[in-house]
Amino acid sequence: MALNLPLDPIQRSEEAEKLVMRGESRSYYKFRAAPYYGGIATADAIGCSFLCAYCWNYGRNENPARFGNFYSPEDVGDKLLEISRRRNYHLFRITGSEPILGEASFQHLLKVIEIVFQESPHAKFILETNGLMLGYRENLADQLKFRNILIRIAIKGVDPGSFEKIAGVRREFFTYPLLALKYLENRHIRAWPAVMEDLFSVAEISELRKTLRENEIIAELELECLEPYPFVLENMRKRGLSIGG
């Protein structure tokens, strides 16, 4: 895949989807019980429309064809449910990548969610996404009206410039995660924005909150904490990023 930054994330989504989807099956590299959110059954997938400097799955998303194995929605659902039964978890997620790259990956995701809720109707599924495709294709939100879905949109930057530097994609796409939040809120689907607090000053975070209000986004902003793996810090250095902005 071409990696001349900043990328066109729509083109990158299309390219990544061709590599990580095979029919209804998607490439995953791990299934695990994770401690986040108080304990969650987790599927680690491969393939992203962004190439974020601080991504803990950077290498796999940079070269998605080299990693993982393909699993059908039924395989993924069964593995997540087995983890939840073993650990008595009631939360589920797919992480490590962008779950919505295009139509094929979106339908795979929907089938996984349906399988989970068929067996665990009172569970919650946390959809972790960068919001690009949900903002680019408003109609996708209509298919996410599950009763117990929660959507966390990582908006990456506080403005178009920081977004481009962090996400590795062109700055004009900064607006799409914001549109995604608005589309979901209009449909009364619970969604909220998240940003990596460690990379910005208090004033910059305040300006981001102002931007969210100006876009009529009412959800509270979640502040993430950076996991400073050595390769993450090196990737950030190459992009001109540092902790504290």
DSSP per-residue string spanning 175-234:
HHHHHHHHHHHHTT--EEEEEEGGGS-HHHHHHHHHHHHHTT--SPPEEE-----HHHHH
- The tokens for 54 are 């601080």
Closest by CA position to 184, among listed 124, 125, 140: 140
Q: H or E stretch including 86?
A: helix 73-87
> Does 9-238 carry CATH code 2.70.160.11?
no
CB proximity list for 112: less than 8 A, separation 6 or greater: 43, 73, 76, 77, 80, 94
Residue with tokens 């403005």: 159
* Stated pTM of the model: 0.95
pLDDT of 8: 97
Q: How far apart are CA 203 and CA 124, in angstroms?
A: 34
Residue 169 DSSP symbol:
B
Q: How far apart are CA 149 and CA 145, in angstroms?
A: 8
pLDDT of 116: 97
- The tokens for 12 are 């990158």
Q: How far apart are CA 111 and CA 27, in angstroms?
A: 15
pLDDT of 237: 94
- CA 62 vs CA 46, 169, 234: distances in Å: 9, 13, 15
pLDDT of 245: 64
Q: Which residues of the chain fall short of a pLDDT of 50?
A: 2
Q: Are 150 and 124 in contact (CB under 8 A)?
A: yes
Q: Are 149 and 190 in contact (CB under 8 A)?
A: yes
- The tokens for 62 are 């940079």
Closest by CA position to 222, among listed 150, 173, 162, 171: 150
Q: How far apart are CA 183 and CA 175, in angstroms?
A: 12
pLDDT of 244: 75
pLDDT of 158: 97
What residue segments make up the domains of the chain, in order of their start?
Answer: 9-238
